[in-house]
Amino acid sequence: MMNSGFDRRDFLKVLGWSGVAIALNGCGNTSVEDGKETVVSYVETNDYMIPSISTYFNSTCAQCDAGCNITGRIREGRVLKLEGNPDSAINRGKTCGLGQAGVQHHYNPDRVREPLLRKGGQGEAITWEKAYALIAEKLNGVSGEEIAFLTGGVSGHLKVLLGNYLDSFGCKNHFVYEAIAPAVLRAANKKSYGVEMPRFNINKAKVVLSFGADFLGAWVSPVHFSQQYAQFRKGVDGQRGVLIQVESKMTLTGANADRWVVVRPGTEGILALGIINALGTASGDIAAKVRGYDRALVSKETGVPPGQIDKIAALLKLRSPSLVLAGSAAEGYAHGSQNAAAINLLNHVLGNVGKTVEAAAVVPFPQMAPATGNTAALKTLNDGLNAGKYKVLFSYAANPVFTAPGAMKFKDSLAKAGFKVAFAHYLDETAMQADLVLPLDSALEDWGTQVPEYMAEGAQINIQQPLMEKLHANTRGMGDILLALIKLRRAEEYKKFDDYYAYLRTAVLQNKGALGGGVADDDTFWNETLSKGIIKLAGSSHALSGNAATAGLSLPAPAAINAQYPLHLIPSVSASLRDGRHTNQPWLQESPDPLTTIVWDSWVEIHPKKAAELRIAEGDIVEVTGKNGSIKAQAYLFPGIHPDAISVPLGRGHEALGRYARGYGVNPFQILDAVFDKETGELALHETRVKVSKTGQRVIVVKDEGFVGGKQMGKKIAVRVSSDKVELSEEV
């Protein structure tokens, strides 16, 4: 046939004919499924359930600890979208990207679905009865001191129940570990203001001077602060608020600031004292303390030009009230407490305490207040494990094998615990080391109460309720598991509660009066509470103790450059990935980093000058080596970083957790040095020193910003003026 002259033209004709035939075929009702697809109707249903019409239920976001109140849109019995609850004082109807991804936590294909018992290298699915019996057997004859319970931040009734459970065998070893919680700041605030977490009124300030507090991105309660920030920008008395951000690596907040002041890593406290000195309004002890910090010295040590210091001081003098914030970048050093104390002192000197720093409302049930903690607690646990103290270890909502600093070798310590039980949503790095993994309901399937650490206005207790039926038959709520476990110890006391829901209902109704129930009958009050999703309380507040003492405040001179490891490693906390527990939600991997626009991978941020010096170009795979190992990632040239520092984002580099997390990027937690804050014993996250070397490989950086990057290509979109040429106080 080919010989008979079937040429190119014929071929094209045939292609044309068959193409038409295929197209016609394709236009048929191929997506119509008459007689094939099953339509499943309800067996029984509520009147308000109408197919294709959404219903809405209020609950609480569990993606971070800020405690934003959410409203879930449910259609045909499935939760589709989460929005903010407009009645919430915390988030006022808004959510962040991390919160939006909550549905991907719920529908995640990598959730653990059965209780798993370790059998060699594998997990064998077992029944819950067997799992509970096994725990009872392992706890038999074990004293309270030999049991450890590691959790992330817990609050509300779950914390009470957990406390009671630990109490039932006299165990005091409850370790609370949140890898990136502001633990040093809490201690410093307690000293400076008398409370760990006061209320910051960004909206009432005319100037905000933030030392590395990324309050628009990942710091404390970012959705709440973002709204305050919007009010602050609209201005008090028509004066638009001015934001000055002092940090060594630009954060999202830094990118939004009017003035971004780059400071040598670790010298934030020195700059704060320098500003107090430049203000010249302090007297007594404080004046004596800051006398040495004249602008020449401060400028030399921090790298901030003297004129800049004067301008900041002039602006702060001109406009009152202002607000000074100490963020994680300032507290991440061995002298982090001192840094934070110096920065808080600035608030005292400026008279902001009581105006923009106020006492926060307190829930009148101290037993429900959030349990907080950081690496100091983990260190104690680690030491205990190394000493072989613990026969049974429980782990919930923490993933220390991933987040503990590499120098701690937590994975090895964990192997020394006798029997390890992990309550888990995913098989994360810690669950992979466990002997027994108990699968948890997602946050959208579970009951609970939560008390946020940062109280926005009045005190509030957040209600968490299921937005839909459970996806998997064999997952359990953490509360239900604890209740089942405590029934094994104190059957008499708890037998009246069928499940955690019954416990919760009883507990809330018992305190109906204190919770604002008034004279409403039980059912009405309970239904109203669930419908609102928030219990707002009158709540008292601890008065701030205006303690501006300078005793014990001493800041070291900036550390000399380490010849072997000349660069500071700044592990940056991204707004969407945080400590990496949610990395398996692909939306979060997919959403570009706000500053570099990179997706699905880690990167090493490096200043262009330093990169030129090291002959590094964008996309070069560089090796970042510290005392505790090395990581390899693509280089990204970024002018918003101190030339003596590099930055690698946290959250990626999982070896487990799930298909969207495993194998993407690197984990900087692994190479962190075990340097701790001298006062609080918390990990100094920014103290690791590294060197950078090229590996010779180069990749194309996958990012949204295009090949020219952040360069303006002569278009003058934003005017660039060197910051020491700007007359801050005149301009704004």
For other proteins, the binding residues (CB under 8 A) are: 1, 4-6, 10, 13-14, 17-18, 21-22, 25-26, 28-45, 50-53
- Nearest CA to 589 out of 517, 657, 507 is that of 657
Tokens found for residue 389:
């103290």
Minimum CB separation of residue 445 from other proteins in Å reads 20
Minimum CB separation of residue 56 from other proteins in Å reads 16
Residue 80 or 514 having the CB closest to other proteins: 80
Minimum CB separation of residue 72 from other proteins in Å reads 19
Minimum CB separation of residue 330 from other proteins in Å reads 50
Residue with the two structure tokens 């006492």: 359
Minimum CB separation of residue 26 from other proteins in Å reads 8
Minimum CB separation of residue 625 from other proteins in Å reads 53
Phi, psi of 276 (to 5 degrees): -60, -45
Cα distance between residue 410 and residue 417, in whole Å: 11
- Other CB atoms within 10 A of residue 730 CB: 10
Residue 24 or 713 having the CB closest to other proteins: 24
Residue 4 or 283 having the CB closest to other proteins: 4
Cα distance between residue 164 and residue 62, in whole Å: 23
Residue 51 or 546 having the CB closest to other proteins: 51
Residue 76 or 705 having the CB closest to other proteins: 76
Minimum CB separation of residue 36 from other proteins in Å reads 7
Minimum CB separation of residue 48 from other proteins in Å reads 10
**What is the dihedral sign for C-alpha 426, 428, 430, 431?**
positive
DSSP 130-165: HHHHHHHHHHTT--GGGEEEEESSB-HHHHHHHHHH
Minimum CB separation of residue 470 from other proteins in Å reads 16
Residue 21 or 557 having the CB closest to other proteins: 21
Tokens found for residue 653:
């580099």
Residue with the two structure tokens 């799992």: 131
Residue with the two structure tokens 């990136």: 180
Residue with the two structure tokens 């405590």: 486
Residue 49 or 255 having the CB closest to other proteins: 49
Minimum CB separation of residue 446 from other proteins in Å reads 24
Residue 38 or 722 having the CB closest to other proteins: 38
- Nearest CA to 615 out of 686, 731, 698 is that of 698
Residue 18 or 695 having the CB closest to other proteins: 18
Minimum CB separation of residue 55 from other proteins in Å reads 12
**Are 630 and 623 within 8 A, CB to CB?**
yes
- Other CB atoms within 10 A of residue 461 CB: 24
Residues constituting the chain: 732
- Nearest CA to 177 out of 394, 340, 4, 398 is that of 398
Tokens found for residue 578:
């945080």
Helix axes of 306-318 and 268-279: crossing angle, nearest 10 degrees: 60
Cα distance between residue 460 and residue 538, in whole Å: 9
Minimum CB separation of residue 477 from other proteins in Å reads 23
Residue 38 or 283 having the CB closest to other proteins: 38
Tokens found for residue 229:
């920030």
Minimum CB separation of residue 267 from other proteins in Å reads 57
**Are 270 and 555 within 8 A, CB to CB?**
yes
- Nearest CA to 253 out of 204, 227, 225, 215 is that of 215
- Nearest CA to 60 out of 84, 79, 87 is that of 84
**Amino acid in position 670:** Q
Q: Give yes or no for a cis peptide into 400 (omega within 30° of 0).
A: no
Minimum CB separation of residue 53 from other proteins in Å reads 5
Residue 16 or 629 having the CB closest to other proteins: 16
Residue 14 or 502 having the CB closest to other proteins: 14
Residue with the two structure tokens 């600031």: 257
Residue 45 or 127 having the CB closest to other proteins: 45
Helix (H, G, I), strand (E, B) or coil at 70: strand
- Nearest CA to 653 out of 402, 395, 458 is that of 402
Tokens found for residue 9:
């033209």
- Three state DSSP letters for 453-477: CCCCCCEEEEEECCCCCCCCCCCEC
Residue 38 or 122 having the CB closest to other proteins: 38
Phi, psi of 277 (to 5 degrees): -60, -45
Q: Give yes or no for a cis peptide into 321 (omega within 30° of 0).
A: yes
Minimum CB separation of residue 41 from other proteins in Å reads 4
Residue 46 or 283 having the CB closest to other proteins: 46
Cα distance between residue 391 and residue 395, in whole Å: 13
